[in-house]
Structure 1
């Protein structure tokens, strides 16, 4: 049930992203924010992408100030608020409207992410023990460090290639639009 509640408890729950919204009865908003917050942590930790955590303070601040802004509304405005998800996956990822090429790209990204996770988890067991038999400790440590870094390097190269492709695609699109304007 959506209703204003204790100011003290609202503050305490607002310290955890999504919990304040849920405490006030906005379950869909709260679940969306909390899910986004913890999914960001999970992805950053699983794929060992530390820079992704820069998003966490933004999500936290949004949730904190959203709760306090909702609490400060007049009763009429507060009860007029509708509970809805922060984002809709069907709008963000219209999977039913994707072409086969887009499906292949997403599938490739998921496969590469899975391989990177598998690699990071299994590299010590599969390769780590025999490296120290064949190489000196300093060389073996360097090889081991490189093998742990390899998935991040692969992801970085893929991101750079996708970015370059997007820029080239946009340039081609702009060139075509310019040609159409010249023809008119």
Structure 2
């Protein structure tokens, strides 16, 4: 059952992502946020991808303010909020397509790039002591610069995709109006 509950305890619980939602009775929301937060931290540490931890900070801020936004709702709005998972991976929850089906290509590209990065880092550290220092330096530069280059290319591609999609939707709206 959802309740607004004690303000001080709610504030204390809001420092742990998902705990504030759980304290107010939104177990599914809380579980989603807590799983996302700790999953990002675990993935960043296991795969040695420190920059991924920025997503954990974003999840923390979202959860913190989400709790206080829920608490700031009027009583009738608060009780109308449905406890639901944040992500519907199976396609349930009234959505036509599941999360994985909608973003299959993006997920595949991210997983492939992540796999390539992990293989490269493992390979690099296995051969670093066996090759000359000059070659190690070149490989280090490639390891440092290549992910940034690929990220830049991905950002440009995403921008082009968004502009192209917006242009296409504007053209479709013009056709409907005509």
Is TM more than 0.5 here?
A: yes
After superposition, where does 1:139-158 map in structure 2 within 5 Å? 139-149=134-144, 152-153=147-148, 155-156=150-151
Return the alpha-carbon distance in structure 2 between the equivalents of residues 35 and 164 of structure 1: 30
| Consecutive unaligned residues in structure 1, runs of 5 or more | none
Aligned to 2:161: 166
Query: What secondary structure does 1:129 align onto?
Result: coil
Q: Structure 1 pair 106/13, CA: closer, same or farther in 2 (3 Å)? A: closer
Matched, 1:48 2:49: yes
Report what 1:121 is aligned to. 122
TM, length-normalised to structure 1: 0.65
Alignment of 1:1-184 (within 5 A): 1-45=1-45, 46=47, 48=49, 50=51, 52-73=52-73, 75-89=75-89, 90=91, 91=95, 94-96=99-101, 106-125=107-126, 127-131=127-131, 135-136=132-133, 139-149=134-144, 152-153=147-148, 155-156=150-151, 159-160=154-155, 162-163=157-158, 166=161, 169-170=164-165, 173=168, 177=171
Relative to structure 1, the CA distance from residue 108 to residue 128 in structure 2 (aligned partners, 3 Å threshold; closer, same or farther) is same
TM-score normalised by the chain length of structure 2: 0.67
Q: Which has the higher contact order (CA 8 A, sep 6+)?
A: 1
Q: Which runs of 5+ in 2 are unaligned?
A: none
* Rg comparison, structure with higher value: 1
Residues 26, 83 of structure 1: 8 Å contact kept: yes
Q: CA RMSD in A?
A: 3.7
1:61/1:94 Cα in 2 relative to 1: closer, same or farther (>3 Å)? closer
- Mapped to 1, the partners of 2:61 and 2:105 lie a distance apart of 36
1:95–1:86 Cα change, 3 Å: closer
